[in-house]
Amino acid sequence: MQRSWLARTVLVLAFVATFALGVLAHGSGLFEQVARYWGEIAYLSRQHLQLVAISGGLAILVGVPLGMWLSRPAMRRSAEGLIQVLNLGSTIPTLAVLALAMSLLGIGVVPAIFGLWVASLLPIVRNTYAGMLGVPAYFVEAANGMGMRPAQVLARVELPNALFVMFAGIRTALAINVGTAPLAFLIGGGGLGELIFTGIDLNEPGMMLAGAVPTAALAVLVDFAVGAVAFWVVPRGVNPLR
């Protein structure tokens, strides 16, 4: 009762704050300033999404099989070590990864995609690995005992039961990816970072917001999309949300 009262108050306050912010923004002419960049926003958002889609897609394509491979019994011993190496990789700031990528691959879209790929690979590998290990051994034993071949055990038992944890990793990875993608501009990769960094350099808040607000919106949108996919793809029996 008290909780819902609190929630309602917060909601009302948020609503009022948003409204006030809108009035303030309108009064200072910020809307017109942002609207001036409409063409750039549309173009750069597409570029931004392309960066995210390609680097994120590649990270999923590589990370999921890698995580699955590490979870195989034959890999048990070396898997933890490899995960630690990947962990180390993720402690390097993304900006540094981008800088390293630039020094290796030059400037442009390719090193940007590479950098983003590296940054989003780890959560996917780690969660896939953890998800697969989290499938109780007796499910595998039951599946073997009933006469499933190893590939069938993987596809019908292990993968579906690991899916929920795997999706959590993909969601984290893509959230990191969208949020980091503006940095791609710094090495000539394009994207909404162009408006953000140029806006900061020129001390033009309108331009900066024209980059920042769509970036935030994209992050929320991508997160929502992945959440929706997970909701429908993960079987109901192993999906705590359904």
Site of interaction with other proteins (CB under 8 A): 136, 138-139, 141-149, 152, 156-157, 160-161, 163, 235-238
The interaxial angle of helices 38-70 and 193-201, nearest 10 deg, is: 120
Which of 222, 227, 225 has its CA nearest to residue 242?
Answer: 227
Comparing CB distances to other proteins, the nearer of 1 and 137 is 137
Distance CA 91, CA 114 (A): 17
Q: CB of 119: closest distance to other proteins in angstroms? A: 31
Q: CB of 134: closest distance to other proteins in angstroms? A: 12
- The DSSP result for 135-174, as a single string, is S-HHHHHHHHHTT--HHHHIIIIIHHHHHHHHHHHHHHHH
Q: CB of 13: closest distance to other proteins in angstroms? A: 39
Burial class (CB in 10 A: 0-12, 13-18, 19+), 152: middle
Residue 13 host element (H or E) = helix 2-27
Comparing CB distances to other proteins, the nearer of 113 and 234 is 234
Distance CA 115, CA 170 (A): 17
Token reading at 15: 């609503």
Residue 191 host element (H or E) = none
Comparing CB distances to other proteins, the nearer of 52 and 170 is 170
Comparing CB distances to other proteins, the nearer of 22 and 136 is 136
Q: CB of 116: closest distance to other proteins in angstroms? A: 32
Q: CB of 235: closest distance to other proteins in angstroms? A: 4
Comparing CB distances to other proteins, the nearer of 68 and 187 is 68
